[in-house]
């Protein structure tokens, strides 16, 4: 059952995890009354948001994301930093369950009082999942988390959305496999502020160093980033907890540099606008398609389009004009 806006607000601002979890559930709910309640709550909380450092972490399944997040996360919480870990898992849209968002993946962090782990909402479609994550992130900020990790499976579906909500984007890679084998698209590499070659341990160290050089070289071929901080490639063994401090130092330096050169604030402004625009698109589409007239019209039109008797462009115009002419 829902709490009052004020109860949610007070609970969240005092850092009550139980209330925070319930507020996230409210944000994730598909019920229209919950959505209205959630929107009011978010509006009240807005002045208390924005204070965290938002870090996106991606990489193909098996690269070691959850092991890395355990290692880096524990490194941070040992410094008394409060960390929230959110996952965006497009596969949950299809399966209705999450392969990623399982607390048992991060056993150490999930027992850490300074860490808060929240898996993807199950059963939401992709655009929706990322949108919920955006709002969940704001709730976590209001609850006082200083660092927020947003984890995605790096298969090229949700990375762009996540890039639009974080300050820093980290890509985990493996050595000994070409990019094509890693399933990482060039576009994702271009979005990264840093690359981490994971599993740089045991027999793998030499190959990892070679991969580091290759990736560093590949990054030089991209256009220089707007942040004016050149992306770097790091070696890391998440399993042995080696190399995470260096990665984090780079993230902190990035924050300092981009705060000084204005990019950090500028980027957040752009992201707010992006968020607004994608919400507007979503609502327009949603309300447009929900109209009685459109719902009646669509099946016949779609049939003609798929049969090839009506060009798609013309069909789309006809649907629009049915409402707005």
Binding site for ligand GDP (CB under 6 A): 59, 61-67, 198-199, 201, 237-239
Residue 27 CB, nearest approach to ligand GDP (Å): 25
Q: Pick between residue 37 and residue 199 the one whose CB is nearest to ligand GDP.
A: 199
Q: Pick between residue 164 and residue 199 the one whose CB is nearest to ligand GDP.
A: 199
Residue 6 CB, nearest approach to ligand GDP (Å): 39
Residue 175 CB, nearest approach to ligand GDP (Å): 11
Instruction: Tell me the residue number closest to ligand GDP, measured at CB.
Output: 64
Q: Pick between residue 100 and residue 148 the one whose CB is nearest to ligand GDP.
A: 100
Residue 91 CB, nearest approach to ligand GDP (Å): 12
Cβ atoms of 47 and 80 within 8 Å: the answer is no
Q: How far apart are CA 160 and CA 171, in angstroms?
A: 13
Q: Pick between residue 41 and residue 194 the one whose CB is nearest to ligand GDP.
A: 194
Angle at 218 between CA 90 and CA 155, to 5 degrees: 10
Q: Which two tokens stand for residue 307?
A: 């049969």
Q: Pick between residue 67 and residue 258 the one whose CB is nearest to ligand GDP.
A: 67
Residue with tokens 């507007």: 280
Residue 139 CB, nearest approach to ligand GDP (Å): 24
Spatial strand order in the sheet of 168-173:
115-118, 83-88, 147-153, 53-59, 168-173, 194-197, 232-235
Please state whether 273 falls in left (phi above 0), alpha (psi between -120 and 50) or beta: alpha
Cβ atoms of 118 and 181 within 8 Å: the answer is no
Helix H or strand E encompassing 133: helix 126-142
Q: Pick between residue 23 and residue 166 the one whose CB is nearest to ligand GDP.
A: 166
Residue 157 CB, nearest approach to ligand GDP (Å): 15
Strand partners, 244: none
């Amino acid at each position: 059952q829902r709490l009052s806006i004020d109860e949610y607000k007070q609970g969240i601002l005092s850092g009550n995890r139980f209330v925070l979890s319930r507020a996230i559930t409210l944000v994730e709910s598909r019920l229209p009354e919950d959505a209205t309640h959630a929107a009011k709550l978010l509006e009240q909380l807005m002045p208390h948001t924005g204070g965290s450092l938002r870090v996106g972490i991606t990489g193909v399944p098996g690269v070691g994301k959850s092991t890395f997040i355990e290692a880096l996360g524990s490194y941070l919480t040992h410094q008394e930093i409060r960390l929230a870990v959110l996952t965006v898992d497009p596969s949950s849209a299809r399966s209705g369950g999450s392969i990623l968002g399982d607390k048992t993946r991060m056993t150490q962090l999930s027992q850490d009082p300074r860490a808060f782990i929240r898996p993807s909402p199950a059963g939401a479609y992709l655009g929706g999942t990322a949108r919920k994550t955006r709002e969940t992130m704001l709730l976590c900020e209001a609850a006082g988390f200083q660092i927020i990790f947003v984890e995605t499976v790096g298969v090229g579906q949700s990375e762009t959305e996540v890039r639009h909500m974080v300050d820093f984007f980290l890509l985990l890679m493996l050595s000994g496999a070409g990019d094509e084998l890693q399933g990482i698209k060039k576009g994702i590499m271009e979005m990264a502020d840093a690359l981490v070659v994971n599993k740089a341990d045991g027999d793998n160290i030499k190959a990892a160093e070679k991969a580091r050089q290759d990736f560093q070289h590949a990054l030089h071929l991209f256009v220089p980033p707007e942040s004016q901080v050149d992306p770097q490639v790091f070696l890391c063994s998440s399993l042995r907890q080696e190399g995470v401090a260096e990665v984090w130092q780079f993230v902190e330096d990035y924050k300092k540099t981009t705060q000084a050169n204005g990019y950090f604030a500028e980027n957040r402004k752009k992201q707010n606008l992006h968020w607004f625009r994608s919400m507007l698109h979503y609502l327009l589409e949603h309300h447009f398609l929900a109209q009685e007239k459109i719902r009646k019209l669509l099946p016949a039109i779609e049939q003609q389009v798929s049969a090839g008797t009506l060009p798609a462009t013309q069909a789309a115009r006809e649907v629009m004009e049915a409402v707005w002419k």
